[in-house]
Amino acid sequence: MIGLPMLSGAALALTHTAIVAGAGAVGAAGAAGTAGIGETVLFWLFALIAVGGALGMITRRNVVAAVMCLVATIVALAGLYVLLLAQFLAVIQVIVYAGAIMVLFVFVIMMLNKEDDAPWALRGLLIKVLAGGGLAYLMARVGSVVWDAGFSPERAWNPGQAETFGSIGQVGQALFTDYLFPFEAVSLVLLVAVVGALVLANPRRPGVAAAADSGAAARIEVGEAGTAQEGGQ
Amino acid sequence: MNGSLFATVSPSHFLILAALLFAIGVIGVLMRRSVLIVLMSIELMMNAANLTILAFARQWHDINGHALAMLVIAVAAAEAAIGLAIVVRVFRILRHSEVDRLTALKH
Average pLDDT (A29-54) is 78
pLDDT in tens, B36-88: 999 999 999 999 999 999 998 988 888 899 999 999 999 999 999 999 999 98
The CA R_g of chain B, rounded to the nearest whole Å, is 18
Looking at residue B45, its pLDDT comes to 95
pLDDT in tens, A85-112: 899 999 999 999 998 999 999 999 888 8
Looking at residue A230, its pLDDT comes to 43
Identify the three-state secondary structure at position B103. Answer: coil
Residue A34 is classified by DSSP as: S
Please name the residue of chain B whose CA is at the shortest distance from the CA of residue A216: B93
Average pLDDT (A10-34) is 47
pTM, two decimal places: 0.78
Q: Which helix (H) or strand (E) holds A233?
A: none
User: Which of A123-137, A178-192, A201-215, B9-23 shows the lowest per-residue confidence on average (mean pLDDT)?
Assistant: A201-215
Question: What's the CA gap between A73 and A62, in Å, rounded?
Answer: 17
Question: What's the CA gap between A220 and B102, in Å, rounded?
Answer: 8
Residues forming beta bridges with residue B98, ordered by sequence position:
B34
Residues forming beta bridges with residue B34, ordered by sequence position:
B98
Which A residues in the span 152-171 are in contact with B, Cβ-Cβ below 8 Å?
A: 152-158, 160-162, 165-166, 170-171
Question: What's the CA gap between B24 and A203, in Å, rounded?
Answer: 35
Average pLDDT (A216-232) is 49
Mean pLDDT of the residues in chain A: 75
Query: Best of B5, B10, B20, B56 to disrupt the A interface by mutation (most A CBs within 10 Å)?
Result: B10
Given a contact cutoff of 8 angstroms between Cβ atoms, the answer to whether A100 and B77 are in contact is yes
Looking at residue A157, its pLDDT comes to 67
Identify the three-state secondary structure at position B98. Answer: strand
Residue type (1 letter), A125: L
Given a contact cutoff of 8 angstroms between Cβ atoms, the answer to whether B58 and A43 are in contact is no
CB atoms under 10 Å from CB of A177, counted, come to 10
Tell if the CB–CB gap between A223 and B103 is shorter than 8 Å. Answer: yes
pLDDT in tens, A169-206: 888 888 999 999 999 999 999 999 999 998 888 776 65
Please name the residue of chain B whose CA is at the shortest distance from the CA of residue A67: B40
- CA geometry: angle A189, A194, A199, nearest 5 deg: 120
ipTM of the assembly? 0.90
Average pLDDT (B15-40) is 90
Residues of B in contact with A57 (CB under 8 A): 24, 28, 37, 40-41, 44
A194 part of contact set with chain B, CB < 8 Å: yes
**What is the length of chain A?**
233
Average pLDDT (A143-161) is 68
Query: Best of B16, B37, B41 to disrupt the A interface by mutation (most A CBs within 10 Å)?
Result: B37
Measure in Å the smallest separation between the Cα of A20 and chain B Cα atoms: 19
